[in-house]
Amino acid sequence: MKGGFVLSRALSIARKELHHIMRDPVTLAASLGLPVIFVFFFGFVIDLNVRDVGLLVADADHTRASRELVQLFDASGYFRTRPAASEADAVLALGAERGKAALIIPAQFERNLRAGRPVSGQILLDGADNAYAGTVAGYLGGIQKAAQARLIGATSPRATIRARFLFNPELNSRWFIVPGIFVIIVGLISSLLTALTVAREWENGSMELLMSTPVRPLEIILGKIGPYLVLSLVGVALVYGLARGVFGVPFQGNHLVFLLATGLFLAATMAQGLVISVVTRQQQLAFQLAMNTGMLPIQLLSGFIYPVESMSPFFRYLTTILPARWYMTIARALFLKAPTLAMLAEPFGALTVLSIVFVAFALRKFKMDLEP
């Protein structure tokens, strides 16, 4: 009597779900408004460039050369210098959070410079704040070059390197952050919504009701998730407009490829939400699991801030099972780098495989859960 998959039955479930969503303004606002608000807010908030780094200067030389070096730090726009009596004093001040870095200029600094001996200024970084220390270290290159020219005069080494920064010539960290936070938020919200909608059906007891009807599990699930997929896609479109319109992030790639990748990614995250809701047939647990498995790993392991390339090999391989990691690569490439589809073969292939595996697993899990 129960035949195979019947589209009309799935559609009626979808219609029912749509009514639910429309009637519940909170869900509607969450699925459309949240991504936009979060991306907007955090696109502005997250800035990986540091400015006004409190730099404690312990100058044991007190010469024109040492003062010139300090001036270079001041003029860079990244640092705000403050004198410290000695190296020990500077270290103490860092310990009491009265500065973020210290510059120690040794005695005989100028004399050694004049004599043509290699000289160095010592930089102490506050290692307690990693995000900060890394960025500050990044600024030293420019200052080193300037100091070399200013203190020693223009030298002409036999080989030089001229660097060209492609895809983001102004080194705008927003271009990196906005596509990234986009992936994080879309992923989190879609998996959260899916987990909730299925869990709610169980909790209300209406899942039993659905099961007693001739509707098959596959139809239930597609019917329930379909509307959320559409809703999430609309959310993605809104966020895309925000990234381009407000943040001025260019989009170099192909929109069709982007849509395809987004569909795959959403399928994977929704399947994840589905598995969570099946595994924990209780809302509190479903939520705890979604939060715990979702919020931190997706942010820390997907390459959003900490590049996957820098991870230890074991974890580099582990991240390959995260759809967000691949979608992140694809999204960033599409926004900034104008890749051809062939260039995206690896992340695209991985994302496709993951989506299929996740969806198949979720469906199986769900069917087993429903069929006695």
Partner 1 sequence: MINPTIVGFIRKELSQALRDKRMRGMLVIMPIVQLLMFGYALSSEIRNIHLAVVAPPSDVFTRELAERFYSSRWFTRVAPGVGTPVDWLRSGRAEAVLIAPAIGAEKAVGRGSAVYQLLLDATNAGRARGVEQYVQAILQSQLRARGDPGADSFSFSVRTLYNPANDTATYLVPGTLCLLLCLATLTLTSMSMTREREVGTLETLLAAPVSPWEVLIGKTVPFAILGMCDVPLVLAVSWAMGVPIRGPLWEIFLVSLVFVSTSVSLGFLISSYTKSAQQAQLGTFLILFPAIQLSGVVYPVENMPYVVKLITYLDPIRYLVIMIRHLMLKGGDIGLLLPNLLGLAAIGAAAVFWAGRRFRQTLN
Please list every residue from 250 through 269 that binds partner 1, using CB under 8 A: none
Decide: 342 and 253 in contact? Cβ < 8 Å: no
Query: Distance (Å, rounded) from C-alpha 302 to C-alpha 315?
Result: 11
The answer to whether 333 contacts partner 1 (rule: CB under 8 A) is yes
Q: How far apart are the first and last CA of the chain?
A: 17
The answer to whether 359 contacts partner 1 (rule: CB under 8 A) is no
Q: Which of 7, 22, 48, 246 binds partner 1 (CB under 8 A)?
A: 48
- 32 CB contacts (<8 Å, ≥6 apart)? 231, 234, 235, 238
Query: Distance (Å, rounded) from C-alpha 110 to C-alpha 63?
Result: 7
The answer to whether 341 contacts partner 1 (rule: CB under 8 A) is no
Query: Distance (Å, rounded) from C-alpha 347 to C-alpha 319?
Result: 12
Query: What is the contact mask toward partner 1 in residues 194 to 223, using x (rule: CB under 8 A)?
Result: --x---x--x--------------------
Please list every residue from 141 through 170 that binds partner 1, using CB under 8 A: 141, 143-145, 147-148, 151-152, 155-169
Q: Which of 11, 28, 123, 363 binds partner 1 (CB under 8 A)?
A: 123
Please list every residue from 281 through 300 that binds partner 1, using CB under 8 A: 282-285, 287-289, 291-292, 295-297, 299-300
Q: Which of 130, 206, 213, 320 binds partner 1 (CB under 8 A)?
A: 130
The answer to whether 134 contacts partner 1 (rule: CB under 8 A) is yes
The answer to whether 86 contacts partner 1 (rule: CB under 8 A) is no
The answer to whether 135 contacts partner 1 (rule: CB under 8 A) is yes
* 147 or 271: CB nearest partner 1: 147
The answer to whether 249 contacts partner 1 (rule: CB under 8 A) is no
Query: Distance (Å, rounded) from C-alpha 345 to C-alpha 263?
Result: 16
Q: How many CB atoms lie within 10 A of CB 302?
A: 23
The answer to whether 336 contacts partner 1 (rule: CB under 8 A) is yes
Between the alpha carbon of residue 101 and those of residues 69, 79, 93, 139, 175, the distances in Å are 15, 9, 10, 12, 27
Q: How many residues appear in the chain?
A: 372
Residue entry with tokens 């290159």: 141
Helix or strand holding residue 209 (H, E): helix 206-212
CB of 60 to partner 1, least distance (A): 15
* 6 or 254: CB nearest partner 1: 254
Task: List the 101-105 sheet strands across, edge first.
Answer: 79-83, 53-59, 101-105
Q: Which of 6, 12, 42, 250 binds partner 1 (CB under 8 A)?
A: 42
Helix or strand holding residue 41 (H, E): helix 25-45
The answer to whether 137 contacts partner 1 (rule: CB under 8 A) is yes
The answer to whether 132 contacts partner 1 (rule: CB under 8 A) is yes
CB of 348 to partner 1, least distance (A): 11
